[in-house]
């Protein structure tokens, strides 16, 4: 089976250059750190385009496939524009994400709106901007959506998000498709939802079913189980309610390689399994070949991103660990503190064969839990060295925050030895933009 870009630990253009420094996209990482400051998110355009190609090739045997990038992994206008140029659609989960892809010039009919508690305003924005599909998550939303659609004298095209009852072996907080979940209709509730759409919510047009079983998934057979359940339900609903459901959305979840131990599946293997299973289910349940939608987030963008940090202070605990501090941490990468996530790092400006020591890389935030990488063996770190943490493209900037009133880092896009800022570094004034001192306090 062909390997795919999400199975790499580093961006595909990563190499050591003539100066002995790490470079990505032809750009020396020491120079990037100098030019733009640190912490700095770096995105490699070639890696992004390579994984898009992997997905397109892997599913080419099923021409009705649509790859809808899950924007929650990383949502910026520049990235939206790259993925749009690759022909991907977008899975969005908020007014903010919808607005970002809209401003990036994306064709809004290729956008899907997901989420378990979309607000009136967000649904209205989605309808006004012509978002292609809304995945209705619950009874409350069906009623709300129909009211908005009626008030605008419009029909809204929806999917029903279902909970297929599949457990995947990933971190508890990132499982979503098992029965006790806040997301979607339980299988036993779908009929009632369809009845309501047919009788009361007549401004809604249902096209298919949507599910998502979890994130950072390494198992492949789980997608076959999911497809079987969705196809079975589609066939049943079509017969029972005289519907013509012809869209299935199997969500995202394909894993990436954060550490040496991680063995994520090849996108080609997933493509093979999904397409075979779908073709089998089309026969088994006598359904017309449906349009297939996937929502990969992490596997599209994680590998292309790295974060550069500058080394500052360090502390040797007597008879204990050595802590080495970087100028970022839990607020630009919340994943280690939230999920105990593991990362791999290299020193940008030092050869791997120099003297090494075991250290714990910690952040600059005022919390003991602000640890980025525990007990890692690296070339001896000194103040001013630049550290490159890999696989930070997904769920880093998108989950970053301003704890301790630290401005969020900049992001640059690299390609062919050129670098461009795609998100500028926040300033202190940016932090104050929404602060107001009421007159009576002045």
Footprint of ligand LLP on this chain (CB under 6 A)?
Answer: 70, 72-73, 91, 114, 174, 176, 212, 215-216, 251-254, 295-299, 335, 339, 395
Q: Which is nearer to ligand LLP, 10 or 72 (CB)?
A: 72
If the CB atoms of residues 75 and 381 are measured against ligand LLP, the closer one turns out to be 75
Minimum distance of ligand LLP from residue 53's CB (angstroms): 17
* Residue (100 or 203) nearer to ligand LLP, CB: 100
Q: Which CB atom, from 142 or from 394, has the smaller least distance to ligand LLP?
A: 394
Judged by beta carbon, residue 210 or residue 350, the one nearer ligand LLP is 210
Q: Shortest Cβ distance from residue 102 to ligand LLP (Å)?
A: 19
Closest approach, Cβ 273 to ligand LLP, in A, equals 16
Least distance between ligand LLP and beta carbon 298 (Å): 4
Least Å from the CB of residue 210 to ligand LLP: 7
Smallest distance from ligand LLP to CB 209, Å: 13
Residue 292 β-bridge partners: 65, 248
Catalytic residue selected from 27, 281, 362, 366:
366
Residue with Cβ nearer ligand LLP (51 or 197)? 51
Residue 366 is a catalytic residue:
yes
Residues carrying an active site annotation: 366
């Amino acid at each position: 089976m062909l390997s795919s870009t999400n199975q790499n630990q580093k961006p595909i253009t990563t190499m050591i250059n003539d100066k002995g420094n790490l470079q990505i996209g032809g750009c020396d990482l020491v120079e990037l750190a100098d030019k733009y400051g640190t912490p700095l998110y770096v995105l490699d355009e070639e890696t992004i385009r390579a994984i898009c190609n992997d997905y397109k090739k892997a599913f080419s045997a099923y021409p009705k496939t649509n790859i809808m990038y899950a924007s929650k992994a990383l949502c910026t206008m520049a990235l939206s524009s790259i993925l749009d140029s690759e022909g991907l659609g977008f899975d969005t989960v908020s007014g903010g994400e919808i607005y970002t892809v809209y401003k990036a010039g994306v064709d809004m009919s290729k956008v899907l709106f997901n989420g378990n508690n979309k607000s009136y305003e967000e649904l209205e924005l989605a309808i006004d901007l012509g978002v292609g599909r809304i995945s209705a998550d619950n009874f409350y939303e069906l009623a709300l959506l129909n009211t908005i659609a009626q008030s605008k004298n419009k029909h809204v095209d929806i999917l029903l998000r279902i909970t297929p009852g599949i457990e995947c072996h990933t971190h508890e907080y990132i499982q979503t498709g098992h029965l006790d979940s806040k997301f979607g209709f339980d299988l036993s509730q779908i009929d009632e939802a369809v009845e309501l759409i047919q009788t009361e919510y007549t401004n809604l047009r249902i096209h298919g079913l949507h599910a998502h079983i979890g994130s950072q998934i390494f198992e492949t057979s789980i997608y076959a189980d999911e497809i079987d359940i969705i196809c079975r339900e589609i066939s049943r609903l079509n017969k029972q309610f005289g519907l013509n459901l012809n869209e299935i959305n199997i969500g995202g979840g394909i894993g990436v390689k954060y550490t040496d131990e991680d063995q994520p599946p090849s996108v080609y293997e997933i493509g093979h399994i999904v397409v075979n299973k779908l073709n089998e289910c089309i026969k088994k349940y006598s359904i017309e070949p449906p349009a297939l939608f996937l929502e990969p987030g992490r596997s599209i963008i994680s590998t292309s991103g790295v974060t550069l940090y500058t080394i500052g202070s360090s502390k040797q605990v007597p008879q204990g660990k050595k802590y080495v501090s970087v100028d970022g941490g839990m607020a630009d990468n919340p994943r280690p503190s939230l999920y105990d996530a593991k990362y791999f790092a290299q020193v940008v400006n030092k050869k791997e064969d120099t003297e090494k020591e075991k250290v714990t890389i910690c952040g600059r935030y005022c919390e003991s839990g602000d640890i980025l990488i525990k007990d890692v063996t690296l070339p001896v770190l000194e103040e001013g060295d630049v550290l490159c943490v890999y696989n930070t493209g997904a769920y880093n900037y998108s989950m970053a925050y301003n704890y301790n009133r630290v401005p969020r880092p900049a992001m640059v896009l690299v390609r062919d030895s050129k670098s461009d800022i795609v998100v500028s570094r926040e300033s202190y004034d940016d932090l104050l933009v929404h602060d107001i001192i009421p007159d009576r306090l002045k």
